[in-house]
Amino acid sequence: MTTADEARARAAEFKAVFAKVKAEVGKMVVGQEHVVDGVLTAMMAGGHVLLEGVPGLGKTMLVRTLSEAVSLAFSRIQFT
């Protein structure tokens, strides 16, 4: 394969994995696609995310579900 072909193959594989994880998270977190996209993008880019909001929006559920979908450990930090 050429370098361009390898890059296309890797991009297609990344897109498939991203879509699979997003679909898995979407089974539990409904109606917050933009938040899910942002968290996934930050995670894949090696960044950080601070989720803020009133209780009951599903912030913990989102992160717990995402961690299970990609086989990562989950822990919660609460600020007051």
Mean pLDDT per 10-residue interval, the chain, length 80 residues: 88 94 93 93 93 91 94 85
Q: In this predicted model, what pLDDT tens digit does every residue of 30-53 receive, in sequence order?
A: 989 999 999 999 999 999 999 998
Question: What pTM was computed for the model?
Answer: 0.81
Domain segments of the chain as ranges: 3-69
Identify the pLDDT of residue 79. Answer: 78
The vertex-11 CA angle with 8 and 15, nearest 5°, equals 140
**What are the φ/ψ torsions at residue 16 (nearest 5 degrees)?**
-65, -45
